[in-house]
Amino acid sequence: MADDWTPPSGDLMKGKRGIIMGVANQNSIAWGIAQQLAAQGAEIAFTYQGENLERRVRPLVESIGMDFMIPADVTDDASMDAAFEAVKDKWGKIDFLVHSIAFAGKDELQGSMVANTTREGFRRAMDISVYSFIDCARRASEIMPDGGAMICMTYLGAERTVPSYNVMGVAKAGLEAATRYAARDLGPQGIRVNAISAGAMRTLSLAGIRGGKSLMGTGRDWSLLKEDTRMEGVAGAALYLLSDLGHSVAGEVHHVDAGFHVVGVPDLPED
Ligand code: NAD
């Protein structure tokens, strides 16, 4: 884990089944959320991007006593059809979905957004990081006859400019808008759709951003709490939004970033 943490156990997710998409290794945000939901009694189907990741993900999944794992590449309709079909075959219906997936090329995640964003890079970032959530929301809602809850993961770069975040900031703005529209469409079916805006955390995705480690330092030093964003806070917010504690919450972008997003000017030196 990125930080020492034992998820609090209980029954808040007892009787609930759902899909978690986006575990790549033990530092993945999706893995922190999975541990928390499992500790509260959830049954989880894990999707992973491909065979290369299976070797890393399987021991994690088994460590929490689970074994339902399905390959799913969000850019491949046949792979997505097969993944959701596998869940439907096994469980018939689900109660929650966690989408914790994003991608942009290294060349795009540095320097000038204007200079470095190619048509193909833009298309790929939008497809994997935004369209995939819309696609998952549709597929998951079809197997949520009793209502349910979904979350996706976003970042402050959607709302404000962040160095190197570039096309991913544009994608996250799209993802946040997609969250609101999906919440509107699915609300009448009793499905709550929300997003968590996490502060910078040390994961594979962060390593792909030029200067990503400095984003963590700035996030900590400028934050109201003067600390890094902790997995327990992100996973706790996911538990709140996906369990019955989150009743009446829909279309929300909930920040878990030690208060960084409200800072306009950092602390000033003494005169
Ligand atoms: P991560 O690298 O552990 O997770 C990203 C996941 O996306 C991986 O599991 C990867 O396999 C998956 N993915 C990429 N392309 C895919 C494809 N075509 N099909 C299926 N899966 C694919 O990194 P993370 O930081 O845990 O990222 C999870 C989410 O959290 C992302 O949406 C990310 O933008 C968001 N987020 C991260 C931070 C941070 O600082 N790490 C902050 C806020 C939001």
Q: 83-129, pLDDT tens digit by residue?
A: 999 999 999 999 999 999 999 999 999 999 999 999 999 999 999 99
Give the whole-angstrom CA distance, residue 99 versus residue 150.
8
pLDDT, tens only, 166-213: 999 999 999 999 999 999 999 999 999 999 999 999 999 999 999 988
Q: Is 49 annotated as a binding residue?
A: yes
Domain annotation covers residue 35: yes
Q: Is 5 a domain residue?
A: no
d(CA 32, CA 58): 15
Flag whether 74 is in a domain: yes
User: Ligand 1 in contact with 250 (CB < 6 A)?
Assistant: no
- Which atom of ligand 1 has the smallest separation from the CA of 200? 40
How many domains is the chain partitioned into structurally? 1
Using the mean position of ligand 1's atoms as its centre, give its distance from the Cα of residue 268 in Å. Answer: 34
CA distance 7 to 13: 13
The CATH number for 147's domain is 3.40.50.720
Q: Is residue 1, in this structure, part of any structural domain at all?
A: no
Q: Please say if 155 is a catalytic residue.
A: yes
Maximum CA extent, the chain:
67
Query: Is residue 181 annotated as part of the catalytic site, yes or no?
Result: no
The angle that helices 166-186 and 132-141 make with each other, rounded to 10 degrees, is 20
Task: For the chain, report the end-to-end CA distance as a whole number of angstroms.
Answer: 41
Query: What spacing in Å lies between the alpha carbon of 22 and ligand 1's midpoint?
Result: 6
pLDDT band, residue 3 (cuts 50/70/90) = low
- Residue 166, ligand 1, Cβ within 6 A: no
258 is in an annotated binding site: no
CA 78 to CA 163: how far, in whole Å?
36
